[in-house]
Structure 1
Amino acid sequence: MGEPRVLGVDACKAGWVGIAVSDGPPQAYVAASIASLIDQARRLGPLDAVAVDIPIGLPDTGRRTADVSARAAIGGLGSSVFMTPVRPALEAPDHPTAVLVNRRLAGEGISVQAYGLRRRVFEVEQYVRDEPQLVIEVHPEVCFAHMQGRPMTSRKSTWAGVVNRHRLLSENGIDLAGELGLAGVNVGVDDVLDAGAAAWTARRYAAGRAMSLPDPPEIFSDGWRTAIWA
């Protein structure tokens, strides 16, 4: 039996970018919606798991244990993990209202960036409702830290950070060589590397080797088994 076929997904300016891995070279996909991206990847065969860098499961009050654990796991780069807002905050009509709601229910405000992700969060949530066993949540820096055996020290926006992350992926069988068919597409280097890291965890998850933060996952009122996987 060959390797499972999986997809790692990250948001990008073009929408979503995915890296599919199995026995052969990685394949890259780009689409405006998560559903279209997964449909593209499935044209070459079924997927055993999809890992996406977006929160799945929103807290009712306070912080998610998944976010707190992920921030601790990546050490000095912990600021790259934002604390997922409570559901009513993301449902608020504007950012100032969301800040007030989150302060009331979680004891802290939320950034413009976190509030701005609400469309993507609800897009993925809607997709997961249809295929709850297929899609898991990841954070790329947690993935890279587990690949390396310790937290990364260089940010992905630096040359050293890019080189080290590319090397780690290659050493783990995800060689993102060449342009991957992404010429002319609005996808950043960090987006592709993060999608590759997500694919690494998706492969581990499909093989039953992934670990969850927390273990066992939390369950909020929305019913999702909420965890960040690596």
Structure 2
Amino acid sequence: MTREPTHFVGVDWASGAWVTVVYSSKSDRPDIDVFDTIREVWDEYGEASHRIVVDVPIGLCESFDADDCPCEVADGEIFRACDSLARSVIGDRYRSVFTSPARQAARMAADGDAGHAEITEKNKDLTGKGLTQQAAGIASGIVATEDLLLGDGDSDVLVEGHPEVCFRAFNGKPLEHSKKTAPGVDERLSAISSVQEYTPDDWRVLAKDLRTEDRRVQLDDLLDALVLALTAFAKDDEYKQLPPDPPTDANGLPMQMVYRSRTDLVE
């Protein structure tokens, strides 16, 4: 007998660790945990979850000359439409959307045998654009997530979301302050204050639960995982995607960022 999913999970990949915030229809309070791998997250929550929203790119570009690459083309570059749309809707916070690496460049970076100069040159050959250190630094998380989805993961359950897009959707307008600042924290807490499943003390409860963790989780990592978990609650009429009709990559994975809103962020 198939059990009804009861969990709604947000996952932030931070400094090599996977921070999860979990709401459950069977509990009055959220939980937080830290895992070493996305596989551990899936083994713990995959079967029990309605949706898991993770902050790493899913669905990657191939190259200029690949017949099965649905990426956008402009100014001598190819890129994921969802990345471009995300930058447009979050306004001044657009720099928080890193250029997603092409698949070959991501796997080169994840292998750990190549330096940044070689990786960024490879990505430039494939897409027309190099990679920042930050973008190359998330490659191992990207590859681990893709390998999971190409194995026994479920791309209808495990989906990509960007925290700044999710905060923007809840806020109703672009945010003004960096998440690393006190005004930015206040702005983000205000953005989620009216979300039905959230109560004002949830973030404090989660922060207290981290006291026993031997790894350092920053406040912005907690808030990112939290907004992704609240996004995971989206009902059908609130579940939105950038772009609204996302393409799939060469491996059949959706190239999208999900968010929760009753109105579309783009026309």
Taking structure 1 as the reference length, what is the TM-score of the superposition? 0.90
2:157 match: 134
Secondary structure of 1:187's counterpart equals coil
Aligned AA (1:26): P
Of 33-42 and 161-170, deviating more is 33-42
Q: 1:190 Cα shift?
A: 0.4
Q: 1:208 Cα shift?
A: 5.2
8 Å CA contact 2:106, 2:143 repeated in 1: no
Of 67-76 and 57-66, deviating more is 57-66
For 1:114, which of 111, 123, 135 is the aligned residue? 135
- Measure, in 1, the Cα distance between the counterparts of 2:226 and 2:192: 7
CA distance 1:102–1:197, shift in 2 (3 Å): same
Structural mapping, 1:205-216, within 5 Å: 207=236, 209-216=238-245
- Measure, in 2, the Cα distance between the counterparts of 1:14 and 1:98: 19
For 1:66, which of 78, 82, 87 is the aligned residue? 82
Structure ID, larger Rg: 2
Is 1:150 aligned with 2:173?
yes
Is 1:34 aligned with 2:50?
no
CA distance 1:208–1:39, shift in 2 (3 Å): farther
8 Å CA contact 1:4, 1:203 repeated in 2: no
Gaps of 5+ in 1: none
Structural mapping, 1:76-225, within 5 Å: 76-92=92-108, 93-129=114-150, 130-132=152-154, 133-172=156-195, 173-174=197-198, 175-178=202-205, 179-185=207-213, 186-204=216-234, 207=236, 209-225=238-254
Is 1:75 aligned with 2:79?
no
Tell me how many residue pairs correspond in the alignment.
226
Taking structure 2 as the reference length, what is the TM-score of the superposition? 0.79
- Measure, in 1, the Cα distance between the counterparts of 2:180 and 2:193: 19
Q: 1:184 Cα shift?
A: 4.4
Q: 1:75 Cα shift?
A: 0.4
- Measure, in 1, the Cα distance between the counterparts of 2:16 and 2:118: 28
Of 137-146 and 57-66, deviating more is 57-66
Gaps of 5+ in 2: 64-77, 109-113, 260-267
Give deviations 1:59-96, integer Å, cap 9, x for gaps.
11311001000010100000000111111222233322
Q: CA RMSD in A?
A: 2.0
2:21 match: 19
- Measure, in 2, the Cα distance between the counterparts of 1:227 and 1:220: 10
